[in-house]
Structure 1
Amino acid sequence: MTPTYRERLAVPLRWWVQGTMLVASLWLAVVVAVPGVAAWVVAGLSVALMAALLLAYGNAVISVADGELRAGRARIGLEHVGAVEPLTPEAARLAAGRDADARAFLLLRPYRKRAVRVHLTDPADPTPYWLLSTRRPDALAAALTAAAASPRGAGGPGPTTAQGEQHAG
C-alpha cells in the first residue's frame, strides 16, 4: 500500500558544509606534517567516515502506511494511536526536556525544531506517547488522524514494538 505520509529526517545541507570544512582543516593540518600522499589518504578516509555518519544519522524515516506508524525501526499499529498533537518549536523543546516522560519513545533530531506527540492507547504498552521530530507536523498529524480513523487503521493488526529505539539527540 502507498504510504499516506512519508518523511526522511535527512541532515541539513549546512551539516555537510561544516563536515567538509572540518575535513579540509584536518587535511591542512596533516599536509604540513606528513608527506602529501598520507595527507590525502587521511582526508579521503575522513570524507568517507563523515559521509557514512551523516547518511546513517539522517536515514530515519517516519511513515504512515499499511495500518502502522513507523518511526525509524520502531512501529506501532494505528489501532493503538490516540490523540495526535502537532507541536510548535517551543512546545517541542519543552516536551523533549522539562515536560518529558522518561517512558516515552523519542525520535528527535536537533535540526528539526517542530515535532508531533502521538499518545498511545495500548494498555499493555508502558510507553505513554511517541515524540517525533518532523518538518511537517500538521501533515503528519492529519495523516495519523485520518489513517487511525479509517476502518483498516482502527482494527488492523499491529504489535507495539519500540524496544531499544530511543533516539534523543
Structure 2
Amino acid sequence: MSDTRAASQTVRYRERLSVPLWWWLPGLGLAALIALEFNQGVRVLPDWVAYAVLLPVAAVALVALGRTELRVVSGGGDTELWVGDAHLPVSVIARSAAVPRTAKSAALGRQLDPAAYVVHKAWVGPMVLVVLDDPEDPTPYWLVSSRRPEKVLAALRA
C-alpha cells in the first residue's frame, strides 16, 4: 500500500482479537512449571536457562494467538472490512448481522458452509456475519469473531 493511499484512509473501527489478560497468569505459570520439571530432569544446565527460554516462548505464543486485527477502513470513496490480511469491499456485502454468543455453536456447526471465510477466536463470544453478493467470489459469507459486533456493523453501514 502506498503512503499516499494510507494517508487518505480513515479507520472507522479497529479491534485486536487478543487473548484475555487472565490467560497470561496460567500461560506463564504453565511455562514456569515446565521449566521446573526440566530443571529437575536435566541437571547439566544452570537452573535459569529453562526459565529464560520457556517464559518468553509462552509470552510470544500468547501474543501470536491474539495478533489478528479486525478493521473497517474507508478512503477514496471505498469502505473495506479487513480481517488480518484479508479484505472485503462493502459494495459486495448483501447483508450483515451480529451472531450472539448463544448462537455461535449453531453458526459454526451444522449450518456452516464449507466455502465460508471464518475467523474464529474461541475466547471472543459474539461474531459478525457478512453475506456476500459477488458472482466472481465463491465465498458465500464471512463469519468473524468480534467483541463488539454492533460497532462493526455500524462502521460498515456508515
Fold similarity call, TM over 0.5: yes
Q: 1:104 aligns with which of 84, 105, 116?
A: 116
Deviation (angstroms), 1:39: 3.4
Root-mean-square deviation (Å): 1.5
Q: Which one has a larger percent strand, Structure 1 or Structure 2?
A: 2
Aligned letter for 1:55? V
Contact 2:96/2:129, CA 8 A, preserved across alignment: yes
Pick the aligned partner of 2:36 from 20, 28, 32: 28
1:141 to 147, 153, 157: 153
Residue 38 of structure 1: how far off its partner (Å): 3.5
Query: How many pairs were matched up?
Result: 146
- Say which structure, 1 or 2, has more relative contact order (CA 8 Å, 6+ apart): 1
Partner of 2:24: 16
**Is the CA contact (8 Å cut-off) linking 2:32 and 2:54 kept in structure 1?**
no
User: CA deviation digits over 1:67-119, x for unaligned, max 9?
Assistant: 21100111111111121110111212211122101000011100001101011
The answer on 1:86 being equivalent to 2:94 is no
> What TM-score, normalized to structure 2?
0.86
Match of 1:65 in 2: 73
Q: Which runs of 5+ in 2 are unaligned?
A: 1-8
Partner of 1:153: none
Identity between Structure 1 and Structure 2 (%): 36
Distance 1:128 1:48 in 2: 40
Q: Does 1:53 align with 2:49?
A: no
Distance 1:104 1:87 in 2: 15
TM-score normalised by length of structure 1? 0.80
SS of the residue aligned with 1:26?
helix
| Structure 1 runs of 4+ with >2 Å offset | 30-39
Residues 128, 149 of structure 2: 8 Å contact kept: yes
